[in-house]
Structure 1
Amino acid sequence: MWKEKACFRFEIDNFSGKEAAVMSNVFVSGGYEWYISLLPKGEDGLYVDYSSLYLYATNSKPVGSGWKRIASFYFVLLNQSHKALYRSAVEEHIQFQADSLSWGFAETLPLRKFQKQGLLENDKLIAEVYIHMVDSFDGELRHVSEKKETVDINGFQLLASQATLARKIFAEHPDLAYDFTPRNQVVRTEYMNVLLSLVETLDNPSLNHSETELSNVRIELSELAEAGFKLDWLYSKLDEVSLKREKAGADSQVQGLDEPCKDDHVMKLLTLLNNLKAKLEKSDYADGSRFKEMEGRISDLEMVVSDLKLKLEEASSFSDDDDTTSSYDDDFVEILY
């Protein structure tokens, strides 16, 4: 029933300085949108000695009068070392509906426990939520005109503005949803909305993605894959974006790195590149053009890694020890050849 990985992870920096409610970004679990709200000092006038934590159901579109989601969930609070500080009880079969969109816990960790020396490392608190969808009801739409603005794309009811991207994806990956079985049209649409959002995110080179954002993208991809979508191509795109992020970070910091850190940066990039090549070797691409596309992408990434390696070697030439890059030369040659 419960997944091993959290549906969403919410990281809060400078926790001790927070006074007002802190809300996470909207995320998707079970095909539906949610967000987390944490009150560091508790609710006003109530439970002031505890932090409060709530799960909110939300929806980007108008909902009907009978709209309802039934879900079970629980929270885990951790420090930066991922040591569990608090685990809530499991709330079973909770009904989220228009007049009661949130449910949670007014009393989580006592504030005095947060103040205990060494408990909250670097003043960072991590909240994880685990959600199991039980049932959902769409209800009657408030605006009938909403139906007229949707189009059917391979069995998914999508907004007209999403049609071009959706058609392009299905044209390039016709087996995308072969194993996706939900029949509820609302659920199908929500899953596809998540997929389209992830594609737009990873295709936008102007976005400066944080490590946490990319981690949450990977979590959402995992949920889509478990639902039946074939997403090797999108996992590869995520690996590419992660690799370029590592490379950009290394470029900006290379002059200030000591030698062990330089090795670490290169090895992270090599690991990502290895993963991408392994996926290509295991994939059964019936379409030769898609195989060539993947090979071309890997070739581009190899050039990125090679470029970074040269930059690191140039930086090392100014140090007293000119042999610091030798520890990864063999690995690099093995990957390229």
Structure 2
Amino acid sequence: MWNQRPSYRFEIDNFSEKKALISSKTFVSGGCEWYLQINPKGDRISDGHLPLYLYVANSTTLRTGWKRSANYYFVLLNQSDKELHRSPISLSTNLFCAKTPAWGFAKTIPVSKFQGKGFLEKDRLIIEVHIKVIEAFDGEGGDVSNNKKKKTVDINGFQVFASQVTKVGKIFTEHPDIALDFKPTKQEVKTAYMNVLLRVIKTLNKPPKSLSETRLNKASSELSELMDVGFKLDWLKLKFDEVSLERKKADDTNESRAQQLEKRVEQRVKPIELKLDEVSFVRKLSDDDNESRAQQVEERVKNLELKLDEISLGRKKGDDTNESRAQQVEERVEDLELKLDEVSFERKLTDDDNESRAQQVEERVKNLELKLDEVSLGRKKADDTNEFRAKQVEKRVKNLELMELELNKCWKPKLDELEGKKTDDAIIFEQIEDRVMGIEFKLDSLNTKLEEISKETEKADDADCSLVQQLEESVKNIELMVSHLKDELDKKKNIASDDGFLLVD
């Protein structure tokens, strides 16, 4: 293959738990900055596969007209560096630019494979990318960071910033042949690789204990790329090996300490394990006892099940009997429901008949109420008439009483005179008789009217009856007075006949 060492190695732990997009750190290859991007669950165009892309880093900050021409390919590995997938290498050069800042593959491995047991060791996925930069152009118009052209200094054909002059000068002083075989000719690429070299040196000058395995791997990858483009860095490779060895020793020391801790833990754990064994043994004996008890319980359960089966059988027979009885009851209920429907129908007819009769009764009651209103009105009128007639009778009775008084005042003295003188004045007797006859006639008429009023007042209220009774008593009194007067007249006639007078009737 045209590049045996990967440009970058990207390790992802707990890959099966990842759901969102994963982006790697920025790395340098061919004097250009790149990063990887992967979607663990696939996207709309990957058709259930794992998509993987190579991006130009900080593309929005590059100068106008920038471009990168490069070839690349990916290798997917598991924890033990077993190759899972290798992407093809395109025959034509891929052009990275502002319109197309990324290239890659939409379909690498089916996502479903990652769910399979044992496909990924310890759930770690490793991605290696190999990049071969053919051409790199950073565009025109100023510096990438602030769009202003900074002053650079030429040191052995490399344009470096003023802040880097001392470091770069020291490198060329100590290692004058470092760039004799350097291949790239473009100044931008040379400057980018010098920046990578300075970064690797800075990393290796740090204490080995402070460096992580990932950072050392990145430094190794960058160092290999620098040596591939022509830098003579055997001295730096030795430095890298020393740092790696010291870090390994530190790891071994930590491992020995870990082993000591494990021994101490074992010393403390063994007594506990012995106690646990004792407890387990006691528990086993208890379990044996419990097992015998469990067997007894199982036997009792079996006996109970047999009894339950017997009860179920008897219950089944009883259920059959009950079912037949229930059927009979249902038949009786159906008969009763039919009878109830018939009764309901008859009752409905009766209710309709009663309703019509009730309507007729209501109509008759209404008619009776109307007649009662008419009778009440007529009775009221009759009461008014009777009251008026009673008042007239009272007036006439008063007149009769007045006439009685007049008779007592006028005729009684005359009768007394007749008794004293025993006169035979026939004219006076005739007048008296005429007057008495007139009074009798008036009394007869009054009696007739009183009888009529009595008949009418029988239908009137009790108050009117009491008034009529009073009137009748007054009339009776008057009749007694008239009869008394007649007796006296008869006596006078007899006296007059004895004296030789003839009274004409």
Both structures adopt the same fold (TM-score exceeding 0.5): yes
Residue identity matched to 1:76: V
Using the alignment, how far apart are the partners of 1:22 and 1:76 within structure 2? 17
The Cα shift of 1:46 comes to 4.3
Report what 1:120 is aligned to: 120
Report what 1:89 is aligned to: 88
Report what 1:230 is aligned to: 232
Q: Report 1:58-77 matches (<5 A).
A: 58-59=57-58, 62-77=61-76
Distance change in 2, residues 1:207/1:201 (3 Å): farther
Report what 1:255 is aligned to: 257
Q: Which has the higher contact order (CA 8 A, sep 6+)?
A: 1
Report what 2:193 is aligned to: 191
Q: Report 1:261-300 matches (<5 A).
A: none
The Cα shift of 1:62 comes to 4.7
Using the alignment, how far apart are the partners of 2:74 and 2:124 within structure 1? 16
Whichever of the two has the greater Rg, that structure is: 2
Report what 1:240 is aligned to: 242
Q: Report 1:129-278 matches (<5 A).
A: 129-143=129-143, 146-205=148-207, 208-257=210-259
The Cα shift of 1:25 comes to 1.8
Using the alignment, how far apart are the partners of 1:36 and 1:122 within structure 2? 22
In structure 2, the residue corresponding to 1:41 is in which secondary structure?
A: coil
User: Higher strand fraction: Structure 1 or Structure 2?
Assistant: 1
Residue identity matched to 1:245: R
In structure 1, the residue corresponding to 2:200 is in which secondary structure?
A: helix
In structure 2, the residue corresponding to 1:132 is in which secondary structure?
A: strand
CA contact (8 A) 1:63 1:142 kept: no
CA contact (8 A) 2:209 2:247 kept: no
The unaligned stretches of length 5 or more in structure 1 are: 259-337
Using the alignment, how far apart are the partners of 1:162 and 1:207 within structure 2? 27
Report what 1:332 is aligned to: none
User: Higher helix fraction: Structure 1 or Structure 2?
Assistant: 2
Distance change in 2, residues 1:94/1:221 (3 Å): same
Report what 1:19 is aligned to: 19
Q: Deviations over 1:163-183 (max 9, x none)?
A: 221122222222211221322
CA contact (8 A) 2:114 2:120 kept: yes
CA contact (8 A) 2:42 2:49 kept: yes
CA contact (8 A) 1:7 1:131 kept: yes
Residue identity matched to 1:151: V
Residue identity matched to 2:81: H
CA contact (8 A) 2:208 2:243 kept: no
The Cα shift of 1:116 comes to 1.4
Report what 1:42 is aligned to: 42
The Cα shift of 1:145 comes to 6.2
The Cα shift of 1:71 comes to 0.8
In structure 1, the residue corresponding to 2:33 is in which secondary structure?
A: strand
Distance change in 2, residues 1:142/1:148 (3 Å): closer
Q: Deviations over 1:119-168 (max 9, x none)?
A: 11100001111112222223213459643332222221122222221122
Using the alignment, how far apart are the partners of 1:132 and 1:60 within structure 2? 19
Residue identity matched to 1:51: L
CA contact (8 A) 2:59 2:101 kept: no
The Cα shift of 1:48 comes to 6.2
Distance change in 2, residues 1:181/1:46 (3 Å): closer
Using the alignment, how far apart are the partners of 1:124 and 1:25 within structure 2? 17
Residue 100 in structure 1 maps to residue 118 in structure 2: no
Distance change in 2, residues 1:98/1:142 (3 Å): farther
Distance change in 2, residues 1:88/1:206 (3 Å): closer
Q: Deviations over 1:169-198 (max 9, x none)?
A: 222222211221322101111110110110
The Cα shift of 1:77 comes to 0.9
CA contact (8 A) 2:50 2:106 kept: yes
Q: Which has the higher mean CA deviation after the structures are superposed, 183-192 or 155-164?
A: 155-164
Using the alignment, how far apart are the partners of 2:61 and 2:18 within structure 1? 33
Using the alignment, how far apart are the partners of 2:247 and 2:221 within structure 1? 18
In structure 1, the residue corresponding to 2:149 is in which secondary structure?
A: helix
Q: Which has the higher mean CA deviation after the structures are superposed, 186-195 or 27-36?
A: 27-36
Using the alignment, how far apart are the partners of 2:171 and 2:181 within structure 1? 16
The Cα shift of 1:79 comes to 0.9
The Cα shift of 1:74 comes to 1.2
Report what 1:32 is aligned to: 32
Q: Deviations over 1:194-233 (max 9, x none)?
A: 1011011111227722223322322221221122211111
The Cα shift of 1:49 comes to 2.2
Quick one: percent identity of the two aligned structures? 52
Using the alignment, how far apart are the partners of 2:29 and 2:190 within structure 1? 13
